[in-house]
Structure 1
Amino acid sequence: MDLDQVDIAILRELQRDARLQNKELAGKVGVAPSTALERVRSLRRRGVLTGFHASVSLAALGRPLSALLSIRARPHRADVLSEYLLEQPETLSLLHLAGPDDYLVRVAVPDTEHLRRLINERLEARPEVLSVNTVLVFEARDRAEQVPII
């Protein structure tokens, strides 16, 4: 992807605050508002900017407990399982892996009893699931900015 310093500055600013008005964005990155607008449109067209999102407190939604679930699945059933995992309201993210486990799923739940029921009654009960290993998450922090690695 061919990104210059202005594109990278725009990405940084929008990741800090996606609600920036175009005029504010232009001022922060040192370009004219028309240039900033065209650059943002170009980044979207090229698939660099894929969306604008609101961050939500999981604790405020009644889901303060997070866990990582490593799941081993039966061969040739992974596509069915991945769709099922993404349909679960507890699922925050799903990673399809290479190695001994097939998936790493980050979930957020109200409490340990809910987590136990999710694993025992919904996941381990599925025929394509061979095993589930659980790790509780004490703290999760995402990196605020993503830029190209040079």
Structure 2
Amino acid sequence: MEIDSKSWKILECLQHDARLSLTELARAVDMSVPAVSERVKRLEESGVIQGYHARLAPQKAGYTLSAMVGITVAQPYKKKLLDILSAMPEVMECHHVTGADSYLFRLLARDVAHLEALVARVNHLGETRTSIILSTPISQQALRQPR
């Protein structure tokens, strides 16, 4: 789907505050409510907008650590690894990557002991490398129109 500048403005507004009413959104992008409604509907139907979510603060939910774990896994164990990771609520995302690691995943933990226990669930499947995230100077940014 080709996304024009008006639709990009709508997307930027919704990424900033997905709870905007259509009236507020129309005012922000200087369009009529029906026009904005139609564009949002098209963006949803085409899969550009995949959902609306609450953004949570892991620290407030008891997760004091965040870590990136790289793992090198032999082909026969890849499905097993993904099954285990999918069942772990602490795993926020997992990426199949190039380079030394087969997968790179980010997880949350209550403390170092919890982190160690989480990594232990998968380290029998391959060699792991764990990096505790000290801070996140650039958090998940809004997707913006390419220049």
Question: What range is the shorter-chain TM-score in?
Answer: over 0.9
Please give the secondary structure, in 1, of the residue aligned with 2:8: helix
Shift, 1:84, TM fit? 1.6
Shift, 1:87, TM fit? 1.3
For residues 79 and 46 of structure 1, the distance between their equivalents in structure 2, rounded to whole angstroms, comes to: 30
The 8 Å contact of residues 66 and 106 in structure 1, kept in 2 or not, is answered as yes
Alignment of 1:31 with 2:27, yes or no, is: no
Please give the secondary structure, in 1, of the residue aligned with 2:68: strand
Letter of the 2:123 counterpart? E
Q: State the identity as a percent.
A: 30
Letter of the 2:4 counterpart? D
Aligned to 1:71: 71
Aligned to 2:60: 60
Q: TM-score, normalised by structure 2?
A: 0.93
Alignment of 1:133 with 2:129, yes or no, is: yes
For residues 38 and 81 of structure 1, the distance between their equivalents in structure 2, rounded to whole angstroms, comes to: 42
The 8 Å contact of residues 96 and 103 in structure 1, kept in 2 or not, is answered as yes
Please give the secondary structure, in 1, of the residue aligned with 2:76: coil
List gaps (5 residues or longer) in structure 1: none
Shift, 1:116, TM fit? 1.1
How many positions carry a matched residue from both structures?
146
Letter of the 1:98 counterpart? T
Relative to its length, the structure with more helix (as a share) is: 2
C-alpha change, 1:80 and 1:46, in structure 2 (3 Å) is same
- RMSD of aligned alpha carbons: 1.3
List gaps (5 residues or longer) in structure 2: none
The 8 Å contact of residues 109 and 115 in structure 2, kept in 1 or not, is answered as yes
Which runs of structure 1 show a deviation greater than 2 angstroms over 4 or more consecutive aligned residues? Answer: 140-144, 147-150
Aligned to 2:144: 147
Shift, 1:27, TM fit? 0.4
Q: TM-score, normalised by structure 1?
A: 0.92
Most deviating of 136-145 and 5-14: 136-145
